[in-house]
Structure 1
Amino acid sequence: MKLIETLTQNSPAIAALRRDIHAHPELCFKEVRTAELVANKLSEWGIPVHRGLGTTGVVGILNGRDGGACGHALGLRADMDALPMQELNTFAHASTHPGKMHACGHDGHTAMLLAAAQYLSSHRDFDGTVYLIFQPAEEGGGGAREMIKDGLFKQFPMQAVFGLHNWPGYESGTFAASPGPVMASSNEFKITVRGKGGHAAIPHNTLDPVPVACQLVQGFQSIISRNLKPIDAGVISVTMIHAGEATNVIPNSCELQGTVRTFSFEVLDLIEQRMKDMTEQLCAAFGLSADFDFHRNYPPTINSAAEAEFCRQVMAEIVGPDKVHTQEPTMGAEDFSYMLQEKPGCYAFIANGDGSHRELGHGAGPCVLHNASYDFNDALLPLGATYWVRLAQTWLSKQKE
């Protein structure tokens, strides 16, 4: 493993910073303290800072030895927000804010990019510009979308953008990157089946919405098994059913809510239309009506082929080709997808280990993402920072070829 020695030496200080962020988690669009910490560190290292994109976003402008005159630029992105969940860990750097927790490793992502920023600022052995993007509100707020709306790519023109996420359960010291879809789109639906309620003992005087809603739950699965091509991926999950207030009363309505995940817009279009048609036609067949609401959240995260291969080459130079894996696509979603809709780039993964890095006082659960016993593996800090540094240096040098 070819780590940058300076980053290894500075690792304890960056780990302390990461743990400070972990202990003070902030939810989407409220990352005030975290943004202040990031901005202060960048300024301390001589990096100009722009604040306020996407409410609490921070962008560091790191010019190379040419002052950025060549015009080549890339973006490196880290997310800053935490999750609205109670941490079960009791170690020294556990959350000090009840009901808030860094359970997805955004504290580590921020720390790794800060470590890389410090190194690049002190060396500047490149021509061009590295934009350091510290993004708010990945966890459901669409912070990437909001930064773009506020002019991220107009104010900071870059030719490519890159992201990195930790991935528990895989051997520490390994990476993964792949072309094409790596994370799914995230979409929500709310369907209200409307009938006519009445006494449960005289159902013939009612229009019962409950059995129709139950048929919809089952029917939606036929969209996946009979409307999609077998090689296409899609998931429809009805996760909430609400109806009724008393056991002897047939309700007036029944509400279904859930999510849809796909790796392409074509599949998403098909699923949404089939769900709408099925809802309207099945309800009409039973003399009922329905309200159908489908909300598209994050689009699929789709890596461009050239940038994914480039990232794999950078990783291989650091850890060896045998430690660079193909990332199996996951149905989880990620708002870095908005950035990849605008610019070529790659969303890659760094293995977080099996949880054995956690200190005494961790909760009883596994060290997986969005788990109350999760903690970022500080051993990754110099590795992730080395990756960012080598990626920036190599990408900018290739632009001159």
Structure 2
Amino acid sequence: MPLIEEIVEEAGEMAALRRDIHAHPELSFEEVRTADLIAARLAEWGIPVHRGLGKTGVVGIVHGRDAGACGRALGLRADMDALPMQEGNRFAHASRHAGKMHGCGHDGHVAMLLAAARYLARHRDFDGTIYLIFQPAEEGGGGAREMIRDGLFTRFPMQAVFGMHNWPGMAEGQMAVSPGPVMASSNEFRITVRGKGGHAAMPHLVLDPVPVAAQIILALQTIVSRNLKPVDAGVISVTMVHGGEANNVVPDSVQLEGTVRTFSLAVLDMVEQRMRQVVEGICAAQGLQSEYAFEREYPPTINSAPEAALARKVMQRVAGADQVLDQEPTMTAEDFAFMLQEKPGAYCFIANGAGAGAHRAPGHGAGPCMLHNPSYDFNDRLIPLGATFWVELAKEWLAEPTR
């Protein structure tokens, strides 16, 4: 089917709004201006607005022709926070705030959902209710978790929830979705190896934490290669090593930090336990002390099969069957996972086609137009496709018989 003409005709206005948000990026839980803009637009279109969930979150409600009497409801979610990074672009809508940038396309996610919201509010040619979720703090703040804690799913009862992210690695206009795990859990660890420092020329008088820390780094890699089933996936990365102040002094301690990524909580449980055993065992064998802290941040993002299948069917209709791909799982993380732990749903992908930056205007930075890159910018040509998908997905899901 062609894109919704009404959305196409108004795409320029939505692109201007997107660029305004891009020029005024706000970090996690600081999205006050962005939330004000969203709330004002929703209210202008006759959509009731609720604010304050997850501190700066916004929820809009669009009832269908039955005024929501059937009880069927779903949520559509867009994240709205920026990244703490310096933008390298010099075009007119580049960030006006040093050290803050929409380097992940959340400005585009907001624009696509707002475009869909306006169309849905005008026509209401469906039965049921659509909740428009504008979520803060995806970039490490766990805004989805905070909105849930503030009553997202109790105050706005919905049977399913969908999210979407732009993906620069695919050709422009392609879309992707798959059942099961599509993004990994994200977790941090901190290890301190404590010994007894002293003169580097007299190692027999010290308890040197440096070689013990080196043993731990190497041993942690055997957890994936020797404890994890080959058909499962996991990544343990030691990314920071701190120890020592002078080249002739053995330090008292060494600190190690890093991340763990898995596609299942069962694998995560095993990895966390084995890491503790490895750290404590190696340190005990050398007569040193250890401290081990493991912090779970985002769980794996796992799509439910029926919702992923429905999303794929709608994608094929709006983008063309040959433009819809299977989404290859990635070890990056996404806090939409918290919502999928509570409700059936699917996290979908729309191709930005921006890797080489062919769509970008003059003034773009020299780097690749990839996520979290200083030269990134969302491709405004995707707004009609993304908005049409949201509209058709919501109507299709609400039209299905109750499972």
Which residues of 2 match residues 162-311 of structure 1 at below 5 A? 162-311=162-311
Measured after TM superposition, the shift of residue 143 of structure 1 is: 0.1
Rounded to whole Å, the distance in 2 between the matches of 1:143 and 1:63 is: 25
Q: Which residue of 2 aligns with 1:397?
A: 399
Rounded to whole Å, the distance in 2 between the matches of 1:180 and 1:356 is: 33
Rounded to whole Å, the distance in 2 between the matches of 1:225 and 1:358 is: 43
Residues 131 and 156, structure 1, Cα contact 8 Å, conserved in 2: yes
Specify which of 368, 371, 388 is matched with residue 369 of structure 1. Answer: 371
Which residues of 2 match residues 1-400 of structure 1 at below 5 A? 2-353=2-353, 354=355, 355-399=357-401
Rounded to whole Å, the distance in 1 between the matches of 2:339 and 2:208 is: 46
SS in 2 for 1:271: helix
Rounded to whole Å, the distance in 2 between the matches of 1:27 and 1:265 is: 29
Q: How many residues align?
A: 401
Rounded to whole Å, the distance in 2 between the matches of 1:36 and 1:390 is: 27
Deviation string, structure 1 residues 321-349 (Cα, Å, up to 9, x no partner): 11110000000000000000000000000
Measured after TM superposition, the shift of residue 173 of structure 1 is: 1.0
Deviation string, structure 1 residues 107-144 (Cα, Å, up to 9, x no partner): 00000000000000011101110000000000000000
Rounded to whole Å, the distance in 1 between the matches of 2:362 and 2:206 is: 60
Letter in 2 for 1:78: A
Residues 72 and 399, structure 1, Cα contact 8 Å, conserved in 2: no
The TM-score with structure 2 as length reference comes to 0.99
Rounded to whole Å, the distance in 1 between the matches of 2:95 and 2:213 is: 41
Letter in 2 for 1:334: E
Letter in 2 for 1:375: D
Measured after TM superposition, the shift of residue 319 of structure 1 is: 1.5
Rounded to whole Å, the distance in 2 between the matches of 1:387 and 1:290 is: 52
Measured after TM superposition, the shift of residue 399 of structure 1 is: 3.5
SS in 1 for 2:236: strand
Rounded to whole Å, the distance in 1 between the matches of 2:143 and 2:39 is: 17
Rounded to whole Å, the distance in 2 between the matches of 1:173 and 1:278 is: 47
Rounded to whole Å, the distance in 1 between the matches of 2:124 and 2:278 is: 59
Measured after TM superposition, the shift of residue 2 of structure 1 is: 1.6
Measured after TM superposition, the shift of residue 169 of structure 1 is: 2.1
- 267-276 or 179-188: bigger deviation: 267-276
Residues 76 and 131, structure 1, Cα contact 8 Å, conserved in 2: yes
Measured after TM superposition, the shift of residue 400 of structure 1 is: 6.6
Letter in 1 for 2:26: E
Residues 21 and 34, structure 1, Cα contact 8 Å, conserved in 2: yes
Structure 1: stretches of 5+ with no match in the other structure: none
Rounded to whole Å, the distance in 2 between the matches of 1:339 and 1:313 is: 22
Rounded to whole Å, the distance in 2 between the matches of 1:399 and 1:5 is: 28
Deviation string, structure 1 residues 158-195 (Cα, Å, up to 9, x no partner): 00000000000211111000000000000000000000
Rounded to whole Å, the distance in 1 between the matches of 2:250 and 2:359 is: 54
Rounded to whole Å, the distance in 2 between the matches of 1:118 and 1:320 is: 24
Rounded to whole Å, the distance in 2 between the matches of 1:174 and 1:161 is: 22
SS in 1 for 2:347: strand
SS in 2 for 1:238: strand
Identity of aligned residues (%): 71
Rounded to whole Å, the distance in 2 between the matches of 1:256 and 1:215 is: 12
SS in 1 for 2:291: strand
What is the root-mean-square deviation in Å for CA atoms of aligned residues?
A: 0.8
SS in 1 for 2:15: helix
Deviation string, structure 1 residues 193-227 (Cα, Å, up to 9, x no partner): 00000011111100000000011111111111111
Residues 188 and 259, structure 1, Cα contact 8 Å, conserved in 2: yes
Rounded to whole Å, the distance in 2 between the matches of 1:105 and 1:200 is: 51
Rounded to whole Å, the distance in 1 between the matches of 2:18 and 2:3 is: 19
Rounded to whole Å, the distance in 2 between the matches of 1:217 and 1:377 is: 41
SS in 2 for 1:350: strand
- 256-265 or 168-177: bigger deviation: 168-177
Rounded to whole Å, the distance in 2 between the matches of 1:337 and 1:197 is: 44
Deviation string, structure 1 residues 16-47 (Cα, Å, up to 9, x no partner): 00000000000000000000000000000000
Rounded to whole Å, the distance in 2 between the matches of 1:154 and 1:98 is: 38
Rounded to whole Å, the distance in 1 between the matches of 2:402 and 2:102 is: 40
Residues 190 and 258, structure 1, Cα contact 8 Å, conserved in 2: yes
Letter in 1 for 2:177: A
Rounded to whole Å, the distance in 2 between the matches of 1:216 and 1:360 is: 49
Residues 82 and 100, structure 1, Cα contact 8 Å, conserved in 2: yes
Rounded to whole Å, the distance in 1 between the matches of 2:190 and 2:367 is: 32
Residues 78 and 109, structure 1, Cα contact 8 Å, conserved in 2: yes
Letter in 2 for 1:187: N
